[in-house]
Structure 1
Amino acid sequence: MRISLQDFSQVVDIIAKEATGKRIRKVIFYSSRIFYLQISSGRKRYLVINLDNTNPSIFLGELSNTPPTLVNPLYLFLKKELNNALIKKVEQQNNDRVVRIELEITNSAYKTFTRNLYVELIAARPNLIFVDEDEKILNAFRKNTIDSPRIVARGFKYEKPLNGAKSKNGSAEPFDHTKFINFELSRLNQSAMTRNQEKFVKIYKFINTRIRTASRKIDNIKADVQKAEEQLINKEYGDAVLAHPADKKWRTDKVEANGIIIRLDGLKTLAENAQHFYKLYKKAKNTIALSDKLIEKAEKELNESLFIKDFLSSSTEEEIERFVAQNALISPRDKIRLPVTKKYAPYHLENNGTTFYFGKTADQNDYLSFVYAARQHVWFHLLNQPGAHVVIKKVNPTDEDLIVAAEIALLCSSLDRGEVMYASKKDISRGESKGEAHVKKYETIYISFIRPATEALYKAATRLEVK
C-alpha cells in the first residue's frame, strides 16, 4: 500500500498532533530496518519507522507485546541519545517523503541540546539520520563515502535529498488512515521471519553450514562409489594376467586377453601386476561396502538440518528461544536435540509386538519419513495418489505387518480398498515440498477390504509423546 505524497502529508500531520510535546520513553529495534520509539502519550503508543527498501513508512500506532530489542551499534547510540527526549516538532520536509523530528535532549549534567532526527522514506534508499543543532551528522542508518554526490557521514553537514516528487495529488478517494495503520501493522507481523533471521543469525548460519556440508558429503560419497564401480574390472584384469601362459616372473608393459590390451607396469612381474589389480579391486569393493553407512549418516544429518530449517521458518520467537537454549551449538559436528513440537509428532499404534507409525499432515509425514525413520525400515504410501506416510520401524516385517501397514495407509485417506506401495526407507528421498517423497523402487500390495481389527487399532492410535 504505497500512499500518495498528499496522503503522506496527512500521516505526518497526524503524528505531529499526537507526538508533539511528548517524550520518547524507549527505543526498540524490531529488526535491522524497523524501529519503535515509545511515546509518552500511552504505554502502548509507538512511533514506528520502517526502512524497508521497497515501501518505507512511518506511522504512530498501538503495539502490544513488543519483543525485546535487537542490539547493534545504532541501537546503542540512539538509546543513549533519545532517552527521555522531548519531541518539539514533527514536520514534513521539502514537500517530499522526508520527516524532521526536532528533539530537546537533556544530558546527565542537565544541559539541554537541540537534535534533529531526519527520517527519509525514499524507496530504494531510505535512511534515518541524527544531527546536532548545527545540522552536522552524528550518526545514520545508511552511511556513504566522501566521493558520493550527497555525503552522509559523521561530521558532515546534513543535506536534504533532491526532491523527486512532481505532485502532491492523491487518489480521488479520501485518505483512510485506519486502513493505512492496519496495513502497516500487518506488515510488521509479516516481518517476524526477518527478525528471527537477524536475532538468531548464528543458528541460521550453523544450520545452513550443516546442510551444505552434508550435501557435499553425499555428492562426494556417490562420486567415490561411481569411481569404485569402474575399478571393479581390476579383478578381471588380475585374473587375466595370472592366466597368461607365461612365466609369472616375466616382465612386460602389456598383455592381451580376450582381445583386450591390459596395460602393465613393465618394472613388475606378471604376479606383481596381478596383485596390484587385486588391491585396486579390494579397495573399490570396500569403498562400495562402506558407502551405505556413510550415506546413511550424511543423509540423517542433512534431513535433520532441513527439518530444523523448516522449524525455524515456521516457529515463533519463543519456540526458537527454547530450541536455542537446549542446544549449545558450537560447530557443525555437534549433535542437535531436535525441536519436535506437537505439530510434527506422528501417530503410532502397536499390533502383535510391531509398532506402526503414520502422519496425518505434511509436517508429520516429513518428520516421520526423513527424520524419525531409519534407512532399514519399511515405508508405505498409496500408489499414484496423495496420502499419509506409514512406517514400520522393523527390518524384516512379516506378511501380516505389511497388510496392517497397507490398511493404515488406506484408512488415513478414508479408503476401504486400494493399492499401496512399500519400499525400504533407503530408497526414499525428500521431495521439493514438505511431505513429498521420491521413490526409487518399490513393491505393491492390494487391499480388497479393511479388517475390523485394524480399524479398531487405527481409531485407538495416539500421538508420539513430545517433551
Structure 2
Amino acid sequence: MGSDLFALSALAEELNYALKGARVDKIQQPEVDELRFFVRASGQNKCLVVSCNAGAPRIHFTTSKKQSPKVAPNLCMLLRKYLLNSVIEDVKIHNLDRILSIKFNAKTEMKDDATFYLFVEIMNRYSNIVFADENLVILDAVKHLPLDVARDHVVLRGVKYSPVVQKKISYLSDCFSVFEDFSGGDLHKFLLDSLSGFSGATMAEFLFRAGLENVSEKLTKAQLEKAKSELSYFQTFSTDSQDFAPCIINEKEVYPCRYKSLDKGDNVQTFATMSEAYDAFYTDCDKDIRNKARLKGLATQAKHFRQKVEKNITNDLERLQECEDMEKYRIFGELIVSNIYKIKRGDESLTCLNYYTNEDVTIPLNVQLTPSKNSAAYYAKYNKLKRTKEFVTQKLAADRELLEYALSVESEIAELPYDADIQPIEEELAMLGGGKRVSQKKKVRKEKSEPPYIYQVDGFYIYRGKNNLQNDEITFSLASSNDLWLHLKNEHGAHTVIITEGKQVPDKVLKIAAEITASTKSASCEVDYTQRKNVKRKPNGHPGQVIYVNFKTIVASPDAHEEYLMKH
C-alpha cells in the first residue's frame, strides 16, 4: 500500500496550492507514527494528516478526528516549539522520489527568521517523517535509523538529511534511453526494474496507453516514438490536466486520473481533489490497520501473561516436590532424640532402627552442632517445608484458577473481530497485572464501550457477552433467576442468556441461542443450558468464572445468525 510518484506529484501540487501561506495553529501526535497539523489557509481551518505507518503512509487533508495523548510525545513537543505560528512556504516533491518536503518559515525565540523542513517519505514499510533545520540537519524523526541499519540513509539527530539513494532512474528525469536499452522479454518487468516512480498499476497503464502491453521484442522506431509521447504525458501531468480526476478504483488505491487499463466498468469512486480521495481511502484503512495492530498487541500481552502463570505453576510443582521429603526430616529429628545416648562427639552420622519401617537408617549429623541441636535443625527443616507446602498448595490452586482465566481471555481475543472495542479486555489484563495500566482518559470512556451482542428471535431477546466483564454483567445483572443461561460445555467461551420474561422458550429459540453460543467454533459442539438461578460465581474467582448445576446439554452447529442481530 502507498502511492507511487505519479500520484504523489499531483498530490504535492495540490497541497502546495492549498497550503502556500498557511499558518500553523496547532500540532498533535495522536499515534506514534502520525502527526496532525491544524492550519489556517485561505480563510479556512484545515487539518493536515501526515503518517508514516507502514500499512497506510500518506499526507492529505482530513475531516476525521483522533484523540491525542494527554502528554505529547517528544517529537510533537519539538515541532510545537519551532513550528507553531510558522507559515508554510511550499510543498513539493523532493529528489524526484516519493518524498514530499514541506518548507516552514518561522520565528525563533529571539524573533529571528528561521526555516525548517518536514520530509515525508512515502515508502511503505520504509516510510518516515524527518524534521530538519534550514541546513537540512536532522532535529528529530519518527523512526531513527543508525548507521548499522541504514548505511546509505542514516536518520539521527545532528546528521545532515540525505534521501534514500535510488539505484533506478526516476521517470521524471531524462530517462528515455531506458526504452532504447530494452532488448526483449517482459517489458513491464524491465521498466519497473529500471525506472523509479511508477507502481505496477501505473506502469501497466503507461504501456496500455502506448499500445505496448503485449510487446516482448526490441521496440521499433514507431513504438519508441509512441512511448516517448506517453512518457511526456506522465511527466507533465498536473492538476490542471484535462484528465485530472482523482479516484479510487476497485477500492485498491488512489489514482490521479481514470486508468484506462483498469476502468472496465469496475468500481470507481471519483473525487474533486486528491486529498478527498486519500481521506476516503485511508481513514477507514488506517483505523483497520491500527485496530489489528492493537488486537495483535493485546493477544501478545495475554500470551505473555498466560506463559507467566504457567511458569508460576511449574515453580509451584517443583516446590511441592521439594516438600515430599518433609516427613523424613521429622522422623530424623525424632530418632536423634530417641537415640541421643548413642551419639558421641565428632560423629558425622547416626545409624539406628527406624521403628516406623523396622529398618536401619543412617542420619547425617552436623559435627558443629550438639545432638539436641541436630534434632532441632531437622525439626526446623520439617516445619519450614510443612509451612511451604501449605502455602504453595493454596498458591497452586489459585494459579490454576488464574491459568483458566488467562486461557479464557486468550479465547476472547481470538474470537474478537479486528474492529471490536478492546478496552474491556485491556482493563481485565490491567487488573490482573498482565497488561498496561488503563489510562484515566480511557476510564472516562468506559461508559461508551460496546454493548454485548443482542439478538431478537420470535419475540425473545438473546444476549451474548463479548468479554469476561460483559459475561458477568449479562449473567448476574441483566438476567433474572428464571431466564435461560447457555455456555459451551467444558470449554472457554461467552455467556449467552435468553430473556424469558416468564414464558416458555420454544425449541427454535433455544436452538438458535445454542448455535450463537457455538458460533466461534469450527464444528458442532455441546452447549450446556440451565436456568440462571443455577449459575453461581466461582468463589474467589475472576470475572466470567462460574459454576452451574442442574443443566441439560444440546448439540449445536456454529452459526452467528447475523440475521437476528440487532444494530446499535
TM-score, length basis structure 1: 0.59
Structure-2 separation of matches of 1:89 and 1:290: 70
Give the 3 Å change call, closer, same or farther, for CA 384–428 of structure 1 in structure 2: farther
Structure-1 separation of matches of 2:527 and 2:92: 71
In the TM superposition, what is the alpha-carbon distance from 1:83 to its structure 2 partner? 1.1
Give the alignment of 1:44-59 within 5 angstroms. 45-53=46-54, 55-59=56-60
Partner of 2:72: helix, strand, or coil? coil
Give the alignment of 1:194-205 within 5 angstroms. none
Structure-2 separation of matches of 1:57 and 1:10: 13
Any idea what the Cα deviations from partners look like across 1:423-454, whole Å, max 9, x if unmatched?
99889999xxx97x899xx9986589xxxxxx
Question: Could you say which residue in structure 1 is the equivalent of 2:217?
Answer: none
- Name stretches of at least 5 consecutive residues in structure 1 with no aligned partner: 347-357, 373-378, 391-408, 449-467
In the TM superposition, what is the alpha-carbon distance from 1:90 to its structure 2 partner? 0.8
Structure-2 separation of matches of 1:410 and 1:287: 50
Percent identity of paired positions between Structure 1 and Structure 2? 18
Structure-2 separation of matches of 1:128 and 1:280: 64
Question: Could you say which residue in structure 2 is the equivalent of 1:400?
Answer: none
Structure-2 separation of matches of 1:152 and 1:446: 65
Q: Which moved more, 1:296-305 or 1:97-106?
A: 296-305
Structure-2 separation of matches of 1:156 and 1:386: 54
Give the alignment of 1:178-327 within 5 angstroms. 178-190=276-288, 217-228=312-323, 230-231=324-325, 234=328, 238=331, 249-250=341-342, 252-253=350-351, 263-265=361-363, 267=365, 283-295=384-396
Match of 1:161 among 136, 144, 164: 164
Asked whether the equivalents of residues 487 and 528 of structure 2 are also in contact (C-alpha less than 8 Å), the reply is: no
Q: Which moved more, 1:14-23 or 1:129-138?
A: 129-138
Any idea what the Cα deviations from partners look like across 1:161-209, whole Å, max 9, x if unmatched?
2125523331537547455322321244246669999xxx9xx999999
In the TM superposition, what is the alpha-carbon distance from 1:99 to its structure 2 partner? 1.0
In the TM superposition, what is the alpha-carbon distance from 1:222 to its structure 2 partner? 3.2
AA aligned to 2:328 is: N
Partner of 2:315: helix, strand, or coil? helix
Structure-2 separation of matches of 1:184 and 1:214: 40
Asked whether the equivalents of residues 50 and 60 of structure 2 are also in contact (C-alpha less than 8 Å), the reply is: yes
Asked whether the equivalents of residues 97 and 120 of structure 1 are also in contact (C-alpha less than 8 Å), the reply is: yes
Structure-1 separation of matches of 2:465 and 2:157: 54
Q: How many residues align?
A: 390
- Correspondence 1:361 to 2:456: no
- Name stretches of at least 5 consecutive residues in structure 2 with no aligned partner: 169-194, 206-248, 250-254, 258-273, 344-349, 454-461, 477-484, 497-509, 517-525, 555-568
Structure-1 separation of matches of 2:74 and 2:57: 22
AA aligned to 2:15 is: I
Partner of 2:35: helix, strand, or coil? strand
Q: Aligned-residue CA RMSD in angstroms?
A: 6.2
Structure-1 separation of matches of 2:391 and 2:327: 19
Asked whether the equivalents of residues 145 and 153 of structure 1 are also in contact (C-alpha less than 8 Å), the reply is: yes
Partner of 2:394: helix, strand, or coil? helix
Question: Could you say which residue in structure 2 is the equivalent of 1:10?
Answer: 10
Structure-2 separation of matches of 1:194 and 1:446: 38
Structure-1 separation of matches of 2:381 and 2:197: 80
Give the 3 Å change call, closer, same or farther, for CA 411–92 of structure 1 in structure 2: closer
TM-score, length basis structure 2: 0.50
AA aligned to 1:186 is: D
Give the 3 Å change call, closer, same or farther, for CA 411–270 of structure 1 in structure 2: farther
Q: Which moved more, 1:148-157 or 1:181-190?
A: 148-157
In the TM superposition, what is the alpha-carbon distance from 1:279 to its structure 2 partner? 6.6
Structure-1 separation of matches of 2:341 and 2:129: 85
In the TM superposition, what is the alpha-carbon distance from 1:98 to its structure 2 partner? 0.8
Question: Could you say which residue in structure 1 is the equivalent of 2:81?
Answer: 80
Give the 3 Å change call, closer, same or farther, for CA 160–38 of structure 1 in structure 2: same
Asked whether the equivalents of residues 253 and 265 of structure 1 are also in contact (C-alpha less than 8 Å), the reply is: yes
Question: Could you say which residue in structure 2 is the equivalent of 1:102?
Answer: 103
Partner of 2:392: helix, strand, or coil? helix
AA aligned to 1:167 is: S
In the TM superposition, what is the alpha-carbon distance from 1:214 to its structure 2 partner? 6.0
Asked whether the equivalents of residues 351 and 362 of structure 2 are also in contact (C-alpha less than 8 Å), the reply is: yes
Structure-2 separation of matches of 1:278 and 1:32: 60
In the TM superposition, what is the alpha-carbon distance from 1:28 to its structure 2 partner? 0.6
Partner of 2:90: helix, strand, or coil? strand
Asked whether the equivalents of residues 381 and 387 of structure 1 are also in contact (C-alpha less than 8 Å), the reply is: yes
AA aligned to 1:20 is: K
In the TM superposition, what is the alpha-carbon distance from 1:66 to its structure 2 partner? 4.9
Question: Could you say which residue in structure 2 is the equivalent of 1:395?
Answer: none
Give the 3 Å change call, closer, same or farther, for CA 274–410 of structure 1 in structure 2: farther
Partner of 2:196: helix, strand, or coil? coil
Asked whether the equivalents of residues 120 and 126 of structure 1 are also in contact (C-alpha less than 8 Å), the reply is: yes
Partner of 2:36: helix, strand, or coil? strand
